Amino acid sequence: MRYGKGGPGPEGTVVSAKFQLDGQEFIALNGGSQFTFSPAISFFVNCETQEEVDELWEKLSDGGEKQGPGWLKDKYGVSWQIVPVFLEELLNDPDPEKSQRVMSAMLQMNKLDIKKLKEAYEG
């Protein structure tokens, strides 16, 4: 949808857009200049392999900012979390020593490294 002659935005500019990503429907709304992106809202992407982590990390951070651990901001200011699918399980392990080792290793990373996370878990 676009604004018409009656505004409130400039005629022809986008009011809202509907789109799909990987079968998931999204609606984006132009909230105007009073609303800006912040890390309080982020897209969480579960990755199966290191190759997937690496590819998404590089593509999404191109023109943006690598913030770590696992967080980045794309060139539009949208925050993303690029995370191995099993990370939550490791961080919530009933053995507090294992989960703490994983947390300590993760906090030293920018882009998450699956091999290093598993090594930390195994001790």
| pLDDT for the residue numbered 58 | 97
Model confidence pTM above 0.85: no
Please list the residue range(s) of the chain that carry CATH number 3.10.180.10: 36-122
| pLDDT for the residue numbered 95 | 95
| pLDDT for the residue numbered 31 | 77
Q: Cβ distance 58 to 66 under 8 Å?
A: no
Q: Which CATH architecture has domain 36-122?
A: Roll (3.10)
Percent of the chain, pLDDT > 90?
64
Backbone φ, ψ for residue 18 (5° rounding): -115, 130
For residue range 43-98, what is the model confidence (pLDDT) as tens digits?
899 999 999 999 999 999 999 999 989 999 999 999 999 999 999 999 999 999 99
CA dihedral of residues 56, 69, 63, 33 (deg, nearest 10): 110
Backbone φ, ψ for residue 3 (5° rounding): -65, 145
Confidence bin at 28 (pLDDT 50/70/90): confident
Angle, alpha carbons 27-21-90 (nearest 5°): 110
Considering only CA atoms, give the Rg of the chain. 19
| pLDDT for the residue numbered 121 | 96
Element (H, E) at 42: strand 42-47
Mean pLDDT of 107-117: 97
